[in-house]
């Protein structure tokens, strides 16, 4: 009996708290369908009196949203691809090949994860400036594609794959590259998916990187475009929320498709 | 030459180093594509940052060794101290609140409930949503006059609700609130993973002994989660000292300098003003703080394990 009551209480509590956490999204969606002067009505009207779906067509003319979305998609895809490819390749070297200096090298990777980005963002910027890459997409690609986090995450996963598998393949005459491509990669699909999703979402949502490196409007990502729209027209509440909804939508779709892998990826990164 | 090869082939003891040398080459070949990018754009900058902090260098002049001058200048600079205080304030608010919220939700979700997936999704979603969108929405929710939060506060009888991001006192709490809301889902998942490693027998045994739910939480859950809590604490601390995006978009460090944090000062001095040396000196301080806090946490963790 008490167990039933306790479970009921947990349900009620969780429902209330989860809804409370979702309130900002409800507000965003509701405001995106209103007129500017209806957004801050007293009392709050959660369901718009009249649905202004035209906000979602008008916004494309107001800001170059298509360009921003394309830039964000391009950067996120390229960076994710490189991160997953070079990360899993390096992780194989760290997890399955024994050679002197390997562990010291890995420690250098781990140590830089703990160093705040701000501590080396200036030398990084200087290097990019000298190479003439500031204000190009290439700068962000180089900066984010070779992250230590991807190597770490993939290595953690590879350590759970028994060494006997690669030993057997070695005896069968497969080269190390062959083992990576034909045995380890197919086995690590969940980890690859986790890393890909986390990288994609992080790149899509990154603000500081593009903020520092991209000055040209044509190169801007969704985050920068939206921010500048807010700065220029801060009273167009409804339109700002429409842009926000559109910037969140791709992430929502990706998240719902790959939920399981997000959870796995985060849980793996917490493994010791 | 031929003799050497023959010797290697004939004795197993000699064959070993040769195999090792080839595996060294193979190992490096796997790591190299990533390492080249990592070394030029992470490892070298990390080391260069230390050197830069002792130089007087802007984007035009030639670098000049100035010893500790950058650090001296920093100590006498009020903006630096304000930013340091604000960063600490943010960390002191953000770390414990996120930790408690994440743990609380994880414990609630770890029960055998239906719709667990829905709750987990709902709570995790803020973490992966577009930061600018989230910051703008929070600014609207917290708008002093007509914002929903203050409407609610007035409705329950608060006559003079806070001005949130427009008030020097309330801007930081507003930022902290939004950041806890955003981050709790991530740490909740770490805790959920930790909770799943606790054997159910422990709880069953405690229940037989008549331990209440609260007692079971304090004497089984909390101690068993110690490794997770340690990891969460370190991650939260590091991320707190790095805070930039949310502050930049919500308040730009204002009003006045009420929410100005260290990473913004580093950004402004280094990249906007081009004072590479001075900015690197501040980033060294940030690095040392993060390192110290992490090491202290390691120490405490090890002592409590004994």
**Which member of B130, B136, B192 has the closest CB to residue A230?**
B136
Q: How confident is the model at residue A240 (pLDDT cuts 50, 70, 90)?
A: confident
- Once rounded to an integer, what is the mean pLDDT over residues B264-285? 90
Question: HEC states along B4-72?
Answer: HHHHHHHCHHHHHHHHHHHHHHHHHHHHHHHHHHHHHHHHHHHHHHHHHCCEECECCCCCEECCCHHHH
Distance CA A234, CA A236 (A): 6
A116 touches chain B (CB under 8 A): yes
Residue A234 has pLDDT above 80, yes or no: no
B296 touches chain A (CB under 8 A): no
The whole-number pLDDT of residue A271 equals: 57
**Which member of B131, B238, B271 has the closest CB to residue A205?**
B131
B125 touches chain A (CB under 8 A): yes
How far A155 CA lies from chain B's nearest CA (Å)?
12
CB contact under 8 A, A28 and B137: yes
B38 touches chain A (CB under 8 A): yes
Alpha helices in A115-206 (DSSP H): 121-130, 137-145, 148-158, 163-171, 176-179, 185-187, 189-205
Q: How confident is the model at residue B10 (pLDDT cuts 50, 70, 90)?
A: very low
Most confident segment among A77-86, B52-61, B118-127, B272-281: A77-86
Distance CA B1, CA B243 (A): 61
From chain B residues 68-97, the ones with a CB under 8 A of any chain A CB are none
**Omega of the bond leading into B255 within 30 degrees of 0 (cis):** yes
B249 chain-A contacts, CB cut-off 8 A: 207, 227
CB–CB of A229/A125 below 8 Å?
no
A260 touches chain B (CB under 8 A): no
Tell me the backbone φ, ψ of residue A97, rounded to 5 degrees.
Answer: -110, 130
CB contact under 8 A, A227 and B133: no
State the pTM of this model: 0.86
CB contact under 8 A, A204 and B140: no
CB contact under 8 A, A114 and B238: yes
Residue-wise pLDDT tens digits, A86-136: 999 999 999 988 888 898 999 888 888 878 888 888 889 989 998 999 999
Residue-wise pLDDT tens digits, B295-306: 888 888 777 766
The β-bridge relationship of strands B64-65 and B55-56 is antiparallel
């Amino acid at each position: 009996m008490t167990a039933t009551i306790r479970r009921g209480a947990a349900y009620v509590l969780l429902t209330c708290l989860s809804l409370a956490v979702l309130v900002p999204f409800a507000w965003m969606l509701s405001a995106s369908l209103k007129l500017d002067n209806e957004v801050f009505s007293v009392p709050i009207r959660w369901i718009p009196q009249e649905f202004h779906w035209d906000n979602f067509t008008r916004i494309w003319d107001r800001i170059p949203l298509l360009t921003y979305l394309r830039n964000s998609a391009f950067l996120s895809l390229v960076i994710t691809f490189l991160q997953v490819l070079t990360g899993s390749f390096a992780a194989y070297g760290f997890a399955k090949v024994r050679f002197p200096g390997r562990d010291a090298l890995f420690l250098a990777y781990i140590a830089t994860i703990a160093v705040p980005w701000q501590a080396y963002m200036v030398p990084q910027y200087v290097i990019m400036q000298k190479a003439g890459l500031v204000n190009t997409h290439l700068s962000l690609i180089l900066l984010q594609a070779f992250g230590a986090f991807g190597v770490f995450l993939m290595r953690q996963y590879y350590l759970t794959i028994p060494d006997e598998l690669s030993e057997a393949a070695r005896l069968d005459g497969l080269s190390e590259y062959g083992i990576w491509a034909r045995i380890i990669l197919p086995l690590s699909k969940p980890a690859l998916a986790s890393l890909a999703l986390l990288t994609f979402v992080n790149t899509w949502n990154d603000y500081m990187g593009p903020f520092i490196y991209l000055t040209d409007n044509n190169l801007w990502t969704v985050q920068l475009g939206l921010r500048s729209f807010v700065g220029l027209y801060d009273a167009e509440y409804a339109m700002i929320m429409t842009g926000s909804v559109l910037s969140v939508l791709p992430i929502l779709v990706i998240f719902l498709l790959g939920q399981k892998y997000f959870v796995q990826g985060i849980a793996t990164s917490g493994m010791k | 030459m031929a003799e050497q090869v023959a010797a290697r082939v004939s004795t197993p003891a000699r064959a070993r180093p040769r195999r090792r040398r080839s595996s060294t080459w193979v190992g490096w070949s796997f790591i190299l594509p990533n390492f080249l990018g990592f070394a030029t754009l992470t490892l070298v900058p990390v080391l260069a940052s230390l050197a830069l902090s002792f130089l007087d260098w802007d984007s035009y002049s030639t670098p000049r060794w100035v010893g500790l001058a950058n650090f001296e200048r920093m100590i006498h600079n009020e903006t630096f101290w304000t930013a340091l205080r604000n960063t600490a304030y943010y960390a002191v608010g953000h770390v414990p609140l996120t930790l408690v919220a994440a743990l609380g939700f994880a414990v609630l979700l770890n029960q055998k409930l239906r719709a667990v997936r829905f709750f987990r999704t709902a709570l995790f979603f803020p973490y992966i949503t577009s930061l600018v969108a989230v910051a703008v929405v929070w600014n609207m929710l917290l708008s002093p006059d007509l914002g929903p939060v203050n409407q609610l506060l007035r409705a329950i009888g608060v006559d003079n609700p806070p001005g949130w991001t427009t008030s020097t006192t309330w801007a930081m709490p507003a930022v902290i609130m939004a950041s806890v809301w955003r981050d709790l889902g991530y740490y909740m998942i770490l805790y959920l993973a930790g909770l799943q490693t606790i054997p159910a027998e422990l709880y069953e045994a405690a229940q037989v002994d008549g331990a209440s739910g609260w007692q079971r939480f304090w004497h089984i859950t909390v101690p068993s989660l110690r490794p997770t809590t340690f990891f969460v604490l370190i991650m939260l601390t590091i991320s707190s000292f790095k805070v930039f995006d949310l502050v930049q978009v919500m308040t730009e460090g204002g009003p006045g300098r009420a929410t100005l944090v260290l990473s913004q000062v580093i950004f402004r001095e280094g990249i906007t003003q081009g004072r590479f040396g001075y900015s690197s000196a501040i980033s060294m301080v940030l690095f040392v703080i993060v390192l110290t806090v992490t090491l202290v946490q390691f120490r405490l963790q090890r002592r409590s394990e004994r």
